[in-house]
Structure 1
Amino acid sequence: MPPHNWIDLKQDANTGIETLRAHFEGHAYDPHWHDSYLVGVTEQGIQQFNCRRTRHQSTPGKVFLLEPGDIHDGEAPSEGGFTYRMLYLDPKWLQQELGAVFDEAPDNTELSFANTLASDVQLARATSLAFESLHHNELNIVRQMALDGLLERLTNHLHWRTRYSGDPRLPRVAKMAGEYLHAHVFEDISLEQLAAATGVDRFRLTRAFKAAYGMPPHAYLVQLRLAKARRMLAQGEQPATVAMTLGFADQSHLGRWFVRAYGLTPAMYRKRCSNLPDR
């Protein structure tokens, strides 16, 4: 990592929520996604990112809200870079905690953010308070109160939407290819195999897939594996074991992709989330 960039990452043992504070100048990270809900606040500078086919610029005090699977990148378009703080909320935890507010979810739906970028002073303040209480391991009652305050403010930006699996906007070929990649995530899949499974040639497949998901099939497969790598590393698995299990050529291969997507090495991520020393 360049010397002017830094990342401070921790994970709350009770909720599994990751808290991250970071500073980047220039390029921050390549397009990637998370399997968590992301709620973050820009502290300083201009935080520029592409998400849902739109380029966003988050300035100090703005809140950015990303759903699981939202492909996004990051860069600093101006001198001095940007600093931000982020909460990674587990979807099951979020739905459970909001149960008292929303009662029961309608059939075949999931929680969704109304907008990617919000100018909401109270939500920004609630996000920062939740971050501080978790990141600095405050008393349990303090953490709970801060999270309740965050959830209360988030309800103004959440709604139920139909699950993507039934989204008619996804072309049939792309949907079939995505399902195949999820089912064979540990395998060394060729583009020819994927094309055969969807019944089209690989050129039509690639065009349809990229139009639907925002990246070609091979990059999507890597992102699936990286998402699984994060979970395994947070549970204390060694990077070498994770690389072998998920089909990366070796630990270095996993490391290169991990840094490009998340800005830190698998070993650093494991240490900060699991509190286990490297062996």
Structure 2
Amino acid sequence: MTAKLSENATRQAIVPTPAKETAAASKQRSDYWFDFNQTLPGGQRLVLGTIGWMTFLLLWQVTSQMDLAPDRLYPAPAAVFSSLKDLFLEQNFFSDVVSSVTRIVISFAIAILIAMPIGLLMGSFARVDGLLNPLLGAWRYLPAPAFIPLLLMWLGTGDTQKITLLLMGVVFFLVIMLADVTRQTPKVLIETAKTLGGGRRIILWTVLFRHSLPGYVDTCRQMLAVSWTYLVIAEIVAATDGIGAMMMRAKRFVHVDDIMAGIVTIGVLGLLFDVLFRLVYRKCFPYLGRERS
């Protein structure tokens, strides 16, 4: 009798009840949606991103109807997109966009040309890092806009001053970050290259640089966003063209919809450049594409 009771109790413990099944299924769904280190397919990422943007636009529309501020000072999304259309079709805003993009591309290309060799050497050789890191690390904390009066006196009001300001805003951060990427090269690769008879130049180029190149591209993608944040600052001082100059002209006449249209334009351009960097990353390093998807 005791054995039969024990057997029944064991069966009840083994056979799941509906409540246990429901709890297990709920936990499984929770783990599925919020598991660590998941990779999402492209379609799911697109759907989630669209939901995020639609939520943002909905909140913007709702708050614009809540009388938090006059319509002229807080326009609805439709008004801003209408203003954006008028800027491109009637006010030659496309030339301003081209001017801003040109300044960003030139300044960031110069920053890469300066930062990549210095970052490679700092990340590879401790003495180079000991010499330059204290100096460049300190320059990172100096705000680039503080140099605007000096740049105006030294370089005038032309594009050279604006490109220099954009360059100063990112180059010191970029050097330190690229050096950090270089340091992540596994020591076993360097020791193996030494064992095979590789000299400093060969190890620097074929091991350290090539192993770090994917990280360099990803770091440049992140730092390009910082360059866009300095664009308006560079173009609000004595500028006749560019997105920032258009926004300053709109400020004089309290055209908030034009100002917000300029902000939207910068955001869209930044997103397009980010997508371009991602495409370059996947094209050049297809063996790493799945890890980042």
TM interval, short-chain normalised: under 0.3
Q: Which has the larger radius of gyration?
A: 2
More strand by share: 1
More helix by share: 2
Higher relative contact order (CA 8 A, sep 6+): 2
